Each structure stands twice: as structure tokens, then as C-alpha cells.
Amino acid sequence: MKYITINNSMKASAISLGCMRMAKLDEKSVDAIMDTALENGINYFDHADIYGKGNSEVLFGEYLARHAGIRDKIFIQTKCAIHDGQYDFSKEHIIRSVEGSLSRLGVDYVDALLLHRPDTLMEPEEVAEAFDVLHSSGKVRHFGVSNHNPIQIELLKTAVKHPLGINQLQLSVTEAGMITSGMNANMKNADSVMHDGSVLEYSRIKNMTIQAWSPFQYGFFKGTFIDNEEFPELNAKLGEIAEKYGISKTGVAAAWILRHPANMQVIAGTMNPEHEYWHLNQHRQATTHWANTIFAIELHSFLLLLQSIFLIRILFIDLLDVWLQYTHLGR
């Protein structure tokens, strides 16, 4: 497993397990997923107070309770500031949200807290006060944001004194606007339109880790582009590279992100055993036990690619070719 340094102190796995869908699982499925992740070197787990209406954190906390000694070996990240269909960056809500997450997770602190989405009504001073209380009380060790652009981050920093070391953003081979806009600078084509204020370059300058969410998805949760008939040329190229190196298309797509010098982290949300079973064995019926087994095999296969930084570097030329060919197709 490749490891990166987040916020100058956390030695985190380059693959984080996104726990948004954990609420749908039973205890046996949670054990299978968590055991597989830990056995393959994943030590960073991403949550949010709203995932599964809090049940994802509850199930994760129950796993920790069943496995003494795990907490000190992993990093737990959660997010806050969305509730009842609205954004809320108030001091009261941020503190209450964190205390709720700690209770559900059954832990004394979280390693990182992110502001889930930008609130146009935010008062930076309130956020700063909340962060000060949470940090001084030992309940949160690091802070960051999610889906924020550089100016929104700078606005927060007018009052927030704690480093903001993380920004969680959508990024995949098909959703690469932060890359394509930069490569089309000073042009008038569609790909030159910048939607995020040069967040990629800003993150590198400020040493903020970009956590890539939905790394195998296209659109806003429309589905995976892997083996999707809507992307024939892309999948042909991914398949060509995958066959060349004896890996999966999913592994190639992950390596494309991890090779970028911005030192990114991929959030893999493969939490549903039934979904993983469908991905590998379409239209075949199976018991829950078999589905869990298939999930473990697929996740392990996916992680094998990440065992070698050297392989990832070798792949970069071909991976860049994938991206260039794909964008040239006029997407």
C-alpha cells in the first residue's frame, strides 16, 4: 500500500474507505469489509454525520467495539454542516454534530473534521470558535473542507487559525474538470471553462490533500464508467492498459489519480457486497455469504495495484494517453 502524509502529520493510506453506504450492511458484511480493508493496509476511513442518517457511524463504532486495539491504528474522518436539507456552519451546530459523531462512533476524538459543503451564509468567526473548542478539548485533531473552492477557503482562513489540510473533491477520469481547465488555459473551447477557481493548483501551493470522491463514477452519482456502454472508447483503452499490466480497469483508474504529483488520496466507496457481486458476476444470484466473499476478492484485487509505487509511475505515460484520447473524443 502506498502511504501519503496529510496535514504534515497523518501517515495515511493512499486509499481511504468511504463509509457512506455502510448503513445498508449487516454485522457480518461490515466485518468482511473492514477486515479486508485493514488486512490490505487501509488505515483511513471517511464518514459524515448524515451518512445513513448516522447509522454508518453507528455500525463502524460497533465494529471498533468488537475489535479492541483497532482505534489507535487508524484515522477516522467525519464531516458536518448539513442537516434537514440545509447547510449550517454555526458554532452550535458544528460542535453538536461532532459530539453526535463521537457518540455514534464510540470514540473520544476524530482525527479529521471536514465542513461538508460551503455555506454562503457562514460566519468565519463562528467556525473558528467551534474549531478552537473542538481542538482544545481534544475532540478533533485536524480540520479541512469538502467541495470548497480556493476563495471560500481563504474566506474561512480570515478567522480560522487551524490549518485546513484537506479538501474532498469529485475527481475521476471522466470528471476531471480541475485538470482539463488548466490544460486548456488561454483557450476558448468548452474544456477551458473553470468551475473551481484553480483548486488543483491552489491545493498544491497550500499543501492541501485532495481526497477524490467517486473516483469510478461519472456525473453526480449516475453510476460507474467502468464497463459502461456509454464510454466504449474509454473502456477499450482502460482494458488495453489493464491487460498489458495484468490488473483491473478499476486499478488503472485509481492509479491515474494517485500518480498526479498533487499527492491525492482516493476514496473508494465499495461498501455494498451485492453491488460488488453484480459488478463481477452480472445477473447471477447468490447468497449473502457468497456476495461477501466476492467483495473481499474484488477489493483485494483492486488494492494489489497500489502495492508498487514503481508500477504506478510506469503507468503514468499510458494513463496520460487515456486522458488525452478521452478528452479528444469531444466529451
**Whole-angstrom distance, CA of residue 86 vs CA of residue 242:** 42
**Whole-angstrom distance, CA of residue 38 vs CA of residue 33:** 9
Contact 100, 49 (CB under 8 A): yes
Residue 54 DSSP code:
G
Helices (H), the chain: 27-39, 55-66, 91-105, 124-136, 150-157, 177-183, 199-205, 232-245, 249-258, 273-280, 288-304, 309-328
Q: Which helix (H) or strand (E) holds 2?
A: none
For the question of residue 63 being annotated catalytic, the response is: no
Written as nine digits, the cell of 153 is 477557503
Written as nine digits, the cell of 195 is 468551475
Cα torsion 132, 133, 136, 138: sign:
negative
Contact 82, 51 (CB under 8 A): no
Q: Which of 44, 51, 218, 277 is catalytic?
A: 51
Coil, strand, or helix at residue 200?
Answer: helix
Contact 107, 141 (CB under 8 A): no
Residues present in the chain in total: 331
Catalytic residues: 51
